[in-house]
Amino acid sequence: MDTPPAAAGPSAPTGATRPGALGDLAERAMRSALLTLSHRRALGRLATGLPITRAMVRRFVAGETLEEALPAIERLHAHGLATTVDVLGESVAAEAEARAACARYLAVLTALADRGLDRNVSLKPSQMGLKIDERLAHENVAAVVGRAVETGAFVRIDMEDSGSTDRTLALWRELRPSDRSSGADVGVVLQAALRRTEADIDELIAARGRVRLCKGAYKEPEAVAFQDKADVDAAYERLMIRLLHEGTYPALATHDVRLINRAVDVARVDGISRDAFEFQMLYGVRRDLQEQLAGAGWRVRVYVPFGAEWYPYFMRRLAERPANVSFLVRNLWRDRSRG
């Protein structure tokens, strides 16, 4: 079994501060407001037209087209980082939009295979039509999985708001290929914030399902999700340790240095091989940490989104870190003062 070097665990970001009780409240209010705004389509149309927001968006989004995103993917590979590609778009309201999104994924899988790049994509059920008609989403995801089987690719079904958890898990159950010998497989995501996840994880572990564990990016009511960050973090730690011991090649999706160090310690102490799991992080978030971990020999995959429909994705990234909002506001202000 692999043993990481003593200094394999990453260090905390410099300048990190711990907000007090008031700061916590303000942060929670800001997060809640940004997540509410992420659903406002009219605001999205306005924001996507502003040049300055577009510049900030480029930090989190690899481009508007696949051609723009491909060099970013190649650069990540050159730094020893694996990738999963996300074609931005979600909560589509018309069948034609869902079918167009499906066609984009088919093209991405073909392009990745043709160029010898990582054949790994992440898609959202609501982008495939889940909120219009379950059968439509099933057909679209099945088409993507079909192309994944042809190209030996991996498809991750992202998890959205708790109203779609059951239908998303059903999609995973129905569409996971029975023959996974070519490397083609379908995985799903579980959110530590949801109270139900402790039970869902039992099923996924028993079925040897490939789980990505994240904290959860959606605004959820107290009845279904922990509201305190400390409770979400504690749940993540418990679930992560279960997956490390009992899961099938789990993906630990977090930028939380404490949790990452905990995973490194558990792997080291319990003799879990470095190739038995991977860390996952978002494009543009903690690039230093991504490279530090990969440099220390851990597997790291970067979630690379591209496309013109970046507004809700971008708003969730702002909600995760209020400092991102002040950066955006400073830039908007500077731009305005320049006239």
Q: What is d(CA 310, CA 312) in angstroms, rounded to the nearest whole number? A: 6
Count other C-beta atoms under 10 Å from residue 195's C-beta.
15
Count other C-beta atoms under 10 Å from residue 172's C-beta.
24
Helix segments in the chain, DSSP class H: 21-37, 41-49, 51-57, 66-78, 95-114, 134-151, 165-175, 197-206, 229-246, 257-269, 287-295, 311-320, 322-337
Can you read off the two tokens belonging to residue 85?
Answer: 């590609």
For the purposes of burial, counting CB atoms within 10 Å of the CB of 40, is it exposed (0-12), middle (13-18) or buried (19 or more)? middle
Find all residues with CB under 8 Å of 227, minimum gap 6, and list them.
none
Q: What is d(CA 186, CA 199) in angstroms, rounded to the nearest whole number? A: 20
Active-site position among 156, 176, 212, 286: 212
**Using CB under 6 A as the criterion, which residues of the chain lie in contact with ligand FDA when the complex forms?**
13, 158-159, 189, 191, 214-218, 253-256, 280-282, 285-286, 303, 317, 320-321, 324
Would you say 64 or 158 has its CB closer to ligand FDA?
158
Would you say 154 or 218 has its CB closer to ligand FDA?
218
Q: Is 208 a catalytic residue?
A: no
Active-site position among 158, 161, 185, 200: 158
- Cα dihedral 282/31/239/205 (nearest 10): -70
CB 146 within 8 A of CB 179: no
Q: What is d(CA 80, CA 12) in angstroms, rounded to the nearest whole number? A: 21
Residue 128 region, left (φ>0) first, then alpha (ψ -120 to 50), else beta?
A: alpha
Q: Is 86 a catalytic residue?
A: no
